[in-house]
Structure 1
Amino acid sequence: MLVALGDLVEDVVVWVDGPVRHATDNPARVTRTRGGSAANVAVLARAQVPTRFLGRVGDDALGHALVAGLASAGVDARVQTAGRTGSIVVLVDDTGERTMFPDRAASAELADVPTDWLDGATVLHAPAYCFAAEPFAGTAVALLREARSRGALTSIDAASVDLLQTIGAARAHALLADLAPDLLFANAAEAAVLALTPADLAGTTLVVKDGAGPVRVAPAGGTPFTVEVPPVDGVRDTTGAGDAFAAGCLAALLAGGASPADPVALAAAVRAGTALAATVLRQPGATLPAPTSTGAH
């Protein structure tokens, strides 16, 4: 089972029709959808492997609706409910690039998680947002260590340049060295902030995305290689593409029972990740295209 630890929030996705004009109206399309990197991974991987989400939402209508949405997608949701559910405003320009305004609210307050929430976990995946502040940071560290002690694989996504700069490279290095995840996902900008080399990550496989450029993979103890990314036409929204990539990679590795250090399995997993990421690039937020209805009505 793939267990994803992190945020479950509402994404308010704003697609603007052109350059934003200050202090006046800007025509836009606004969509409300599920957000939170870990929740996205749990939902997007669910078609391939059993998944569970661990997190916290507010004790409010929005939080209850988001949890119900996970359940309806087939995700085993283990959540605490207290306070106010978080939201993220995602401003998407006409190139598909996004600017985010997060208010994590209750998501950042996860604490005192029962260890039986990890029962059955084959891998525990944690976006670096988990480490942004206490008490969640300490909770995440404890759960990752517990998962490792049970023989589960661990996976971390670097998540955000701003987050890494706020945490600081030295602290991030120390944290990654201490946790020694089996897999570390990052995009090129995040990898540049971390300035990590394979020598810094003994036992960790590093997977670095670079938009439409090749994915760079440094297997733990192995020879680095690249995987080409097929072109995607009509990109409208990059929100959630990284989550879809991680979901596809992890699901492929788990479904095949492969080691995250096996270069052949890794290459296949990266291709699965890029294929899943491509499906969300034309949608608002980390959502898959609606199925096309066929047959008589």
Structure 2
Amino acid sequence: MNSRAESGLLVVVGDLLEDIVVWATEPIRAATDSAAQVFRSRGGSAANVAAHAAALVPTRFIGRVGDDGAGLALASALEARGVDVRVQRQGRTGAVVLVVGPDGERTMFPDRAAAADLDAVEPAWLDGVAWLHVPSYAFEHEPMRSEVRRLVQLARTAGAAVSVDASSAGLIDGLGVERIRAWISALRPDVLFADETEARRLGVDAGGADASRIAGRVVVKHGPAPTEVFDGGELAAHVPVAPVAEVRDLTGAGDAFAAGWIAAALGGADVEGCCLAGHALAASVITVPGADRVNSG
């Protein structure tokens, strides 16, 4: 899909970081050298969603970067993807080092730095919002956690839909399962995106139990297996995933899925159509390094 749907503004709140991607080209050997390729790109879960969605729907990003050259470069890179970028500038820009094994699985070392200090966002930055999306990384630190809650309430008052991405099983474990489950439940998102591990952590089992207590709709991704969608705790869709010939780097696949889903939803697609749009966009990023590149072939 190359044309942007004029179906409402998507606003994504969260992190804009530098990704330093280490592609291991042989099995990783501890305490010695391992052959690798290293790539640098614009990253951050929220920024990834915004970058992918901007080709499909009008999209705005809200976040904070450092008052430094890295922050300026990252904001410019995101703007170049067609995103309306609204950032505060103070402190030091964050980065994430991602070590990707030969099987495509990755280990991440995040330093969010200025991104976690988002606070006192101008309400006008939400003007025109039809959908607000927040990765759960935004809940990791204050003051950003409280600020995101305020922005969700402002968006709801404006009549916008709200989605949350569970983001990371490690994040859930680190913050505490009950705490993050309570935070998400209190926001009562219209849509919660999670992979199967994150869903289990949050109490959504294979049959969808407790899904209705955390979000109106829960979208559970199972990698190459069919995606499940639960509405009100009941299975509403079971959508197969088209096979991908070679999976090289899973970085940003979930962000791309969320972008595809939301853009399709804003365009009026049904649940199956939203899943298929998410699958297609995710498939375009998992054969290339980092989350800011797309395989157009």
TM-score range, shorter chain: over 0.9
Q: Secondary structure at the match of 2:129?
A: coil
* Residues 203 and 189 of structure 1: CA distance in aligned 2, closer, same or farther (over 3 Å): closer
* Residues 187 and 230 of structure 1: CA distance in aligned 2, closer, same or farther (over 3 Å): same
Amino acid corresponding to residue 51 of structure 1 in structure 2:
T
205, 219, 236: which one pairs with 1:207?
219
114, 120, 124: which one pairs with 1:112?
120
90, 103, 109: which one pairs with 1:95?
103
In structure 2, the partner of 1:167 is 175
Q: What displacement does 1:114 show?
A: 1.0
In structure 1, the partner of 2:148 is 140
Are the counterparts in 2 of residues 198 and 218 from structure 1 also a CA contact under 8 Å? Answer: no
Alignment of 1:247 onto 2:259: yes
115, 124, 127: which one pairs with 2:132?
124
Q: What displacement does 1:71 show?
A: 1.2
Distance 1:22 1:291 in 2: 35
Q: TM-score, normalised by structure 2?
A: 0.92
Alignment of 1:62 onto 2:74: no
Identify unmatched segments of 5+ residues in structure 2: 1-8
Are the counterparts in 2 of residues 202 and 221 from structure 1 also a CA contact under 8 Å? Answer: no
Are the counterparts in 2 of residues 6 and 127 from structure 1 also a CA contact under 8 Å? Answer: yes
Give percent identity, aligned residues only.
50
In structure 2, the partner of 1:2 is 10
Are the counterparts in 1 of residues 50 and 83 from structure 2 also a CA contact under 8 Å? Answer: yes
283, 287, 290: which one pairs with 2:292?
287
1:218-297 to structure 2, matched below 5 A, reads 218-220=230-232, 223-256=235-268, 265-289=270-294
6, 23, 30: which one pairs with 1:22?
30
In structure 1, the partner of 2:42 is 34
Q: What displacement does 1:289 show?
A: 3.3
Distance 2:262 2:195 in 1: 16
- 20-29 vs 122-131, which deviates more? 20-29
* Residues 290 and 273 of structure 1: CA distance in aligned 2, closer, same or farther (over 3 Å): closer
Are the counterparts in 1 of residues 22 and 100 from structure 2 also a CA contact under 8 Å? Answer: yes
Distance 1:16 1:60 in 2: 30
Q: What displacement does 1:43 show?
A: 0.6
Distance 1:153 1:128 in 2: 16
Are the counterparts in 1 of residues 94 and 111 from structure 2 also a CA contact under 8 Å? Answer: yes
Distance 1:15 1:6 in 2: 26
Q: Secondary structure at the match of 1:267?
A: helix
Could you list the per-position Cα deviations for residues 54-107 of structure 1 after superposition, in whole angstroms to 9, with x for gaps in the alignment?
A: 000001111000001111111000000011100000000001110000001110
Are the counterparts in 1 of residues 285 and 295 from structure 2 also a CA contact under 8 Å? Answer: no
Amino acid corresponding to residue 218 of structure 1 in structure 2:
F
Distance 1:20 1:223 in 2: 40
* Residues 199 and 107 of structure 1: CA distance in aligned 2, closer, same or farther (over 3 Å): closer
Q: What displacement does 1:12 show?
A: 0.3
Distance 1:291 1:238 in 2: 16
Are the counterparts in 1 of residues 250 and 286 from structure 2 also a CA contact under 8 Å? Answer: yes
Q: What displacement does 1:274 show?
A: 0.3
Amino acid corresponding to residue 237 of structure 2 in structure 1:
F
Are the counterparts in 1 of residues 63 and 86 from structure 2 also a CA contact under 8 Å? Answer: yes
Q: What displacement does 1:19 show?
A: 1.5
Alignment of 1:76 onto 2:84: yes
Q: CA RMSD in A?
A: 1.5
- 162-171 vs 68-77, which deviates more? 162-171
Q: What displacement does 1:24 show?
A: 1.8
Q: Secondary structure at the match of 2:193?
A: strand
Amino acid corresponding to residue 160 of structure 2 in structure 1:
A
Q: What displacement does 1:223 show?
A: 4.3
* Residues 181 and 13 of structure 1: CA distance in aligned 2, closer, same or farther (over 3 Å): same
